[in-house]
């Protein structure tokens, strides 16, 4: 389950921000995990909740948005919506797609308590 590794990386990002910005705890952690990012959102949430005790994430609300996927169709020369990296273009049916949206996992927002 690579989501545990991802959760550890997210915790490091948040802890680095806490040290740099001098806040004590996170009240809300907002993430984006695009549908094409290869992240199982429920597993990521579980992993974050499992590693939170004793850290700046303890007691934090975790919000995870899942932006839809999109890709550039080389045949149509248009951006089209896709739900999977193996989907054909919904316009022309070809598989000449380059994903360009919904591929990222990122920390979108931190709402924090003062130190």
SS3 66: coil
Strand partners, 82: 69
Q: At what angle do helices 3-21 and 41-51 cross, to 10 degrees?
A: 50
Predicted TM-score (pTM) above 0.75: yes
105-114 vs 23-33, strand pairing mode: antiparallel
CATH fit for domain 3-114, picks 2.60.120.10, 3.40.50.300, 3.30.2320.80, 3.40.50.1370: 3.30.2320.80
State residue 54's pLDDT score.
97
Given a cut of 70, whether residue 112 has pLDDT beyond it is yes
Mean of pLDDT over the chain: 96
State residue 114's pLDDT score.
75
* Domain ranges for the chain: 3-114
Tens-digit pLDDT profile for residues 72-111: 999 999 999 999 999 999 999 999 999 999 999 999 999 9
Given a cut of 90, whether residue 1 has pLDDT beyond it is no
Residue from 21, 37, 33, 30 nearest 84 by CA: 37
């Amino acid at each position: 389950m690579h989501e545990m590794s991802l959760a550890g990386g997210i915790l490091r990002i948040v802890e680095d921000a806490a040290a740099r910005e001098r806040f004590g705890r996170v009240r809300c952690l907002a993430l984006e995990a695009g549908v094409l990012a290869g992240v199982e959102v429920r597993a990521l949430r579980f992993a974050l909740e499992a590693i939170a005790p004793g850290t700046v994430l303890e007691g934090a609300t975790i919000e995870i948005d899942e932006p839809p996927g999109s890709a550039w169709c080389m045949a149509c020369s248009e951006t089209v919506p896709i739900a999977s990296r193996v989907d054909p273009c919904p316009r022309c049916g070809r598989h000449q797609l380059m994903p360009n949206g919904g591929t990222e996992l990122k920390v979108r927002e931190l709402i924090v308590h003062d130190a």
